[in-house]
Amino acid sequence: MMQLNSAQALKLGREVHETFGSWRKAREAAVQRNGVYVIDREKIRAARAEKTAETA
């Protein structure tokens, strides 16, 4: 389990926000489990690849 506000958690948060562009879009891509939003890493990779393809 990742610690809140650790360097690892902050890095992941930045990556998620940059990938989806907003927290609302990130939550839409996530699944809520026990009150916590969980995003599959594959969704992050797919969204990042799609974003990269759009800018190319």
pLDDT tens digits for 19-30? 999 999 999 989
Tokens of 4: 């809140």
* 47 contacts 22 by C-beta, under 8 angstroms: no
Structure-model confidence comparison of residues 20 and 3, the more confident one: 20
Tokens of 5: 């506000």
Distance CA 12, CA 51 (A): 17
* Other residues' Cβ atoms within 10 Å of the Cβ of residue 17: 13
Distance CA 56, CA 16 (A): 21
pTM of the predicted model, to two decimals?
A: 0.71
pLDDT of residue 3 exceeding 80, the answer is no
SS3 32: strand
pLDDT of residue 56 exceeding 90, the answer is no
Tell me, what's the pLDDT at 43?
Answer: 87
